[in-house]
Amino acid sequence: MRVDQIDTSQYQTLLDQKVKDTLELFKGLALPEHSVVASPEKHYRLRAEFRVWHQGEDSYYIMFDPATKEKFRVDHFLPGSELINQLMQAVREAFLANDILRFKLYQVDFLTTLSGEALVSLIYHKPLDDNWQREAEQLKTELNKIAPLNIIGRSRKQKILVEQDFVTEKLTVCGEEYSYKQIENTFTQPNGFINQKMLEWANNISSSLSHDLLELYCGNGNFSIALANQFNKVLATEISKNSVKCANFNLAQNGINNTVIGQSSAEDFSAAYFEGKPVKSLKEIDFNDYKFSTILVDPPRAGLDQDTESLVQKFEHILYISCNPETLAKNLTAITSTHEIADICFFDQFPYTHHIETGVWLRKK
């Protein structure tokens, strides 16, 4: 659905149909009673990207119709946070009045937070020079009247920071506040409200578990940090070097000292843990120090490969966070040969689309 055609009065009907369609994918699986967490009906997205279209003396934001690929103008972005919508207008007014900021401007990206911080990336088809930086610094000063904000300028082989390239998010989970550094161009959950609800769901389940937690695909430590206090120790892995650095920073910021982040793919970790194969990035981790009872996986849309399916089946408890019900259904068909589904919850991370986030807790039969 095009964002300029969203009808919020249809939200609940669309969500009910989405859940019904998703449950169809799980036919044949023994499911407990499911639960559903609805999203706010508008202003739920914390990040957005817009192309800039230049037409004579005017320039404005555009997006593309997902069905026809035709462009359409965007002056107001209903899914975007209220801060995104404020900044969209302020940034457009600024570049319309400033030839240096406007010339060859190709795209504008916004990253905002529930904590009220923001990052604006201006992407160009031209080299950026001192004149551009001077105007961008002035723009930052003006935009700081709206919110604490930083600017990034990008062009081919250039990245200019007007102070810094990250925001600090603050999430409240089961009454505890956690701080997360979120870097430009790294993955973050787009729907902050739903992210908090997913963390609370995982936290509540983990409160009944014990021993140590292994997490694969940990990103910037989103789940690791919120669940650390429920386990004796946590070992988390992530293949992205930048995300590992960010996760370690976040652990320190939150005073968490029972968690270790290792840079590794799920496949390499499995080979190191179960077969003893040497993995350089994991060489300083002594697996004998851990007594794992639970594994948490939050894989990309492709889901778990066959080796990782086999890996998770070795654990007493599995927490599986999925952004793709189709690959989740395939994985669950294999995993339920050894485990039963104890809880399933649907989180409407992406309103007005067919996408839905699913949390599943499985325990060994």
Sign (positive or negative) of CA dihedral 92, 94, 99, 100: negative
The answer to whether 7 is annotated as binding is no
The answer to whether 298 is annotated as binding is yes
DSSP symbols for 236-290 = EEES-HHHHHHHHHHHHHTT--SEEEEE--HHHHHHHHHH----GGGTT--GGG-
According to DSSP, the β-strands at 58-64 and 71-73 are antiparallel
- 268 vs 55: CA distance, rounded Å: 51
- 71 vs 352: CA distance, rounded Å: 19
The answer to whether 11 is annotated as binding is no
The answer to whether 307 is annotated as binding is no
- Contact of 185 with 259, CB cutoff 8 Å: no
Q: How far is CA 223 from the centre of its chain?
A: 11
The answer to whether 70 is annotated as binding is no
Helices (H) and strands (E) in the chain, counts: 10, 17
- Catalytic residue from among 41, 117, 309, 323: 323
Q: Catalytic: 357?
A: yes
Report angle CA 340, 342, 345 to the nearest 5 degrees.
Answer: 125
Nearest to 324 by CA among 353, 281, 294, 357: 357
Report angle CA 250, 252, 255 to the nearest 5 degrees.
Answer: 110
Catalytic positions, written as ranges: 323, 357
Q: Which residues are annotated as a binding site?
A: 189, 217, 222, 238, 298
Which segments are annotated as binding site for S-adenosyl-L-methionine? Answer: 189, 217, 222, 238, 298
